[in-house]
A and B are shown apart, each in its own frame.
Chain A
Amino acid sequence: RKEVEQDPGPFNVPEGATVAFNCTYSNSASQSFFWYRQDCRKEPKLLMSVYSSGNEDGRFTAQLNRASQYISLLIRDSKLSDSATYLCVSYTGNQFYFGTGTSLTVIP
């Protein structure tokens, strides 16, 4: 079983829509979680860390549910520039574990 699993999508949403991605992790000992954004043929870039109490950064909200072992990313008021692949990452015992990514396309 993979450490981190994500729905690959693709998610195609209209501009202005709200979209949510979930990601499950298998190791209950996972210590930290992150969301990265990756544009086509570019490197992943940190979007936000995920804190136990949930956290928000502008239009982006991240949540962690330790009981059910999943994290989520909510994007409100989607922009064309949000089109990218979103990677879920967990950190366990000095190792980072990546999901394969969820593809988002925001349509005008």
Chain B
Amino acid sequence: DVKVTQSSRYLVKRTGEKVFLECVQDMDHENMFWYRQDPGLGLRLIYFSYDVKMKEKGDIPEGYSVSREKKERFSLILESASTNQTSMYLCASSRAGVGSPLHFGNGTRLTVT
């Protein structure tokens, strides 16, 4: 079974702090994604990556950056946390190609106060 592991289940940070969310997958998947999920808005794509050191903006990249130095690890960085970034953050990975589904980590619930 694919395992996608997110480093923290719950995080509480203060406004202005730099926040790192880590994600590791163990199935040698090429693609990795970061989403946030908010009530009534569904899942929204923040950034994704198709390969090491490669990144692409999603629908809502403002206020975020990412890093993929190794194939198995994809980090999401909140440069200066704000209260409107309080959300559930979901990392996912998939094999390259049509028909390969996404596999999600168990999520990080971030609260910015």
A: which residues have CB within 8 A of B? 31-32, 34, 41-46, 49, 87, 89, 91, 94-96, 98-101
Contacts and interface: CB of A to CB of B under 8 A. Distances in A.
Contact of A45 (B94, B98, B100, B104): B104
B96 to A, nearest CB: 8
Contact of B106 (A31, A42, A49, A101): A42
B45 A95 contact: yes
The main secondary structure of chain A at its interface with chain B is strand
Contacts, number: 48
A100 B41 contact: yes
Interface string B49-79: 0100000000000000000000000000000
B107 A43 contact: yes
B52 to A, nearest CB: 17
B44 to A, nearest CB: 9
Contact of B101 (A34, A98, A99): A34
B27 interface: no
